[in-house]
Amino acid sequence: MEPPARSHGTKQIRLTAQPRDLMAETARAGAWTASIVTLFPDAFPGTLGLSLTGSALKAGLWDLRVTDLRRFGLGKHRNVDAPPAGGGPGLVLRPDVVGPALDEARLPGPLVYLSPRGTPFTQATARHWAAAPGVTLLCGRFEGVDQRVIDHYGLEEVSLGDFVLTGGEIAAQAMLDATVRLLPGVLGNAASTEEESHSAGLLEHPQYTKPAEWRGHGIPPVLTSGDHAKVAAWRRAQAEALTRARRPDLWAKRGA
């Protein structure tokens, strides 16, 4: 009897002790690469595997590599953490676990530890990472990572915002989404990144589309006038007004 034909929608997965290159079959030589060190490798690619970033990943426009930190754990139970020196609550990721993982996962480009005490991630950060060969991200957990790891590797600490998450995985996905969309070929229209929020130090202007009337609300007449100069001026004025009202910190930087 012949074995049943396999469905085209079925993907064969082989377990391995080595870190996975999630799209090794399609990644182009020299493609921009993100390397992630995490206790939860199954969190990736996550939303990065969807929509434009996912299509670009499958097309080999960028590459994603994930290293399971637990693989470097110590002892029978592969422990990765220990109580903080000097006492206190929680646990700290051990340097003799994180160090070997970084040695294996590190790639050319920024070497980053995702931390709530880090420098805020901005559009400028995304542009900087996109211009590099790639980025290596260490996702924190518990009370963080031993300071000696940060000092030894010169890790750049970067924060998603002024709040605390249970780990760095969600932050990593958000930062990589912002970065990958800037890579050549990921967005169908490169101009899309030129007028959006933060690209010129301003928030983006309001957007409208069909239908012309919706529940008593119409599209501003200038947008249907066909006068491109007036449209550009209107959008600029709207962007400036929104930035002044909602982000006075950004507006202040423009006059600095």
HEC sequence for the chain:
CCCCCCCCCCCCCCCCCCCEECCCCCCCCCCEEEEEEECCHHHCCHHHHCHHHHHHHHCCCEEEEEEEHHHHCECCCCECEECCCCCCCCCEECHHHHHHHHHHHCCCCCEEEEEEEEEECCHHHHHHHHHCCEEEEEECECCCECHHHHHHHCCEEEECCCCCCCECHHHHHHHHHHHHCCCCCCCCCHHHHCCCCCCCCCCCCCCCCCCCEECCEECCHHHHCCCHHHHHHHHHHHHHHHHHHHCHHHHHHHCC
255 is in an annotated binding site: no
Instruction: Name the range with the highest mean pLDDT among 22-26, 185-189, 241-245.
Output: 241-245
Instruction: Consult the annotation and say whether 165 binds a ligand.
Output: yes
Q: pLDDT confidence of 17, banded at 50, 70, 90?
A: very low
pLDDT in the model for residue 255: 73
- pLDDT given for residue 35 in this prediction: 98
HSE value, Cβ hemisphere, 13 Å, CA-based, for 216: 0
161 is known to lie in a ligand binding site: yes
More confident residue, 253 or 135: 135
pLDDT category at 8 given cuts 50, 70, 90 is: very low
Look at residue 19 and tell me whether its pLDDT is greater than 60.
no
Q: Which tens digit of pLDDT belongs to each residue from 95-122?
A: 999 999 999 999 999 999 999 999 999 9
Q: How large is the average pLDDT for residues 30-46? A: 97
Report the share of the chain in percent with pLDDT over 70: 85
Query: Is 164 annotated for ligand binding?
Result: yes
In the chain, domain spans: 20-180, 196-254
Split at pLDDT 50, 70, 90, the class of 190 is: low
Q: What is the pLDDT of residues 131-184, one digit of tens each?
A: 999 999 999 998 999 999 999 999 999 999 999 999 999 999 999 999 999 999
Give the pLDDT confidence score for residue 42 in this predicted structure.
97
Q: Is 3.40.1280.10 the CATH classification of the domain at 20-180? A: yes
Q: Note the pLDDT of residue 198.
A: 56
Percent of the chain residues topping a pLDDT of 90: 79
* 39 labelled ligand-binding: no
Domain 196-254: CATH architecture, name and number where available: Orthogonal Bundle (1.10)
Residue 12 predicted with pLDDT over 50: no
Enter the pTM of the model. 0.82
pLDDT of residue 28: 75
pLDDT band at 253 (very low <50, low <70, confident <90, very high): confident
- 223 annotated binding-site participant: no
Q: Was 162 annotated as part of a binding site? A: yes
Token pair for 150: 């940060």
